[in-house]
Amino acid sequence: MGVKRDQADIWFSKAVRHRDKHLCQYCGGEGSDSAHIYGRAKKSTRWSMDNALCLCRYHHRYFGENPIAFHDFLLKLWGSGHMEILRDKANAIMKTNKELRAEISKHYREEVRAAEADPSYKIVSYN
């Protein structure tokens, strides 16, 4: 059984894909997936823009099956400093509730709409 997705997840995914212009950050092809670096079970990074990127379906599956290759790619893309900060952030404990998830959903819904209205707008991460 997978991790349940709610409106916070849906709007977060839209924000990631919009930020990355719906392009796979690996091959440049059409990207349809918002791929987490640390999985959605890690609440402290689940809705963090620095923990996700847009990938095509093929590369999302490929990197899921080849985590060392994914790590190497991320080091090239974002650098070791980003990855160390993200690891520390992922190890933090965060509890959520219905109200917090509604707040996160509202935040990303507003961010996506602002970015759609103004192409120069940079989506701001919730955390």
2-42 tens-digit pLDDT? 667 899 999 999 999 999 999 999 999 998 899 999 999 99
The C-alpha atoms of residue 60 and residue 78 are separated, in whole angstroms, by 17
Q: Where are the domains of the chain?
A: 7-117
pLDDT for 5 equals 85
pLDDT at 34: 96
Q: How sure is the predictor about 44, in pLDDT bands with cuts at 50, 70 and 90?
A: very high
Cα distance between residue 50 and residue 15, in whole Å: 12
How many other C-beta atoms are found inside a 10 Å radius of the C-beta of residue 90? 19
What pTM, to 2 d.p., does this model score?
0.92
Q: What is the pLDDT of residue 4?
A: 73
